[in-house]
Structure 1
Amino acid sequence: PNGTVLVENMQINGRAQDPGRTITLTLLDNYDYWVLLDPSQQRLFLNSTGRVLDRDPPISITSIVVKVQCTNLLVGTIILHEVRVIVRDKNDNSPQFRHPRYYVAINELTPVGTTIFTGFSGDNGATDIDEGPNGQIEYTILYNPNDPTSNRTVRVGN
C-alpha cells in the first residue's frame, strides 16, 4: 500500500537534519517516482498514490531500483547506495478460460478408458497471468444440482 516503509533505517553515519547537519541525502534514478525519501529519518517509502504497483501484465513491475546519494558536507565526498525493491507476486488474478463453455457428447456404448475430452491441452484451457505457484491451474469436475442434464456420477480412471 501507499506509504509502506521500504527501508526503515539506511544506517548511514551522519546527521541529515539541522542542527548539526553533516550529510545530505538525495534520491537518484527514481523513475516514475515510486519511492519517496525522508532524509531526516533515513527512510524510503513506497509512493503508489493514484496507481497500482503490479507484477503482472500489463504493468509487469518486477523490481524498483533507486540510488541514494549521500554527500558528506564536512569533506565533500559522495557515496551512492543502490536500493533494489523486489516486487513479489500476489495471487490476484483468476484463471481465464479461452471459451465460456465446453461441450462433449459421447455414445452410451463408449468403452471405459476412452478419452472423451482434450480441450484443455495446449492453449485451449485456462491461463493465469500470476507467476509461479500462483499461476498454476488445477481442473476439477463438479456436479451441478441445478442442471437437469448433468449426472451425479463421474468416474476418472478404473
Structure 2
Amino acid sequence: MNTIDYFKLQAKNLLRDFKTKTTVLDKTTNAFLYEYSPRYFDVEMIIAEFGIDEDNFSLMNAQHVIAKIANFDKWASLLKATPAELELAQLLYDHQNKIDLIGWEFYIADQSTNEDELDAEIQVEIFKQMVFEENIFDYMEIESYLLKHS
C-alpha cells in the first residue's frame, strides 16, 4: 500500500472510531456526553488535543487530524509531499509511541551541524538507524494517539 493510501486508511479508521459514539448521561452534571468504543485511536485524547466538534465530525475532519498527527499543516500538504517526506511521516506516525514529533525535531536539530537542516531523505536514514538498527528509543514509551502499535 502506498503512503497516501495508508494515510487515507488511517483517516477512515479514525472516522470509524468516532462513529462508535454513544450518548450517556453524566450523573454528576446531568449532561449528556459521548462515550466511544474505538479500535484504532485514543479518541478522547484526539478530541481534547485537536478541539474536535463531536457532533460534526466528518471524513474531511479525520483527514485533517491525520495530517496534523503526521506533521503536516493540512491534508493538502500531505498529498503534495515528496516520497521521502511521506516515508518519514509514516515512520514517525507508526512509532509515535517511541518518539513524538517535538522529540524528533529536537533530536534532528542536535544531529544537524552548521545550522544546516537535514532533508527528509537523510532523516529517514537516521530514523531507520536509530529505531531499527540501534533501538535507541526502545526504552521510551510515550502517550500515543494510536491504540495499537506495530
Do both proteins adopt the same fold according to a TM-score greater than 0.5, normalized to the shorter chain? no
Structure number with bigger Rg: 1
| TM band (smaller chain) | under 0.3
Greater helix percent: which structure?
2
Greater strand percent: which structure?
1
Tell me the TM-score normalised to structure 2 length.
Answer: 0.21
Tell me the TM-score normalised to structure 1 length.
Answer: 0.20
